[in-house]
Structure 1
């Protein structure tokens, strides 16, 4: 699995509705989704990693969360080396 920054959520990006719909604990710290939006991995405040399957009924909420997420801090332009 390769990591896609658009599918990685920090605490500030994880809405209460996403926590409720995915059934995540309230101490979730970060969240990573797979490309197919079928699995979620999350880290809680105790630094424990958990995996959870995403139920198809919850998928629209997850898709909306991905669209509403704060864009990652990265340039949209290709990398250029300036000498």
Structure 2
């Protein structure tokens, strides 16, 4: 993208030429997953027999606003098992 700006084409025009959404270009992902993964790992090591569903329930009770699918995805990615 910056190469096109050096040639005198604006970002908006270059994005339009490439048929690339502006929202995708300017999207800044949040790194909240590290905080959530740390909490999942902490609960998993604290309660050895807890699966992702139980960890999800513990997190919801503690006030976390998180989806069970995200807990499962992160739990699996970390290789945690009962």
Q: Would you say same fold, with TM above 0.5?
A: no
Which protein is richer in helix relative to its size?
A: 2
User: What's the TM-score once normalised by structure 2's chain length?
Assistant: 0.29
Which one scores higher on RCO, CA 8 angstroms, separation ≥ 6? 1
Which protein is richer in strand relative to its size?
A: 1
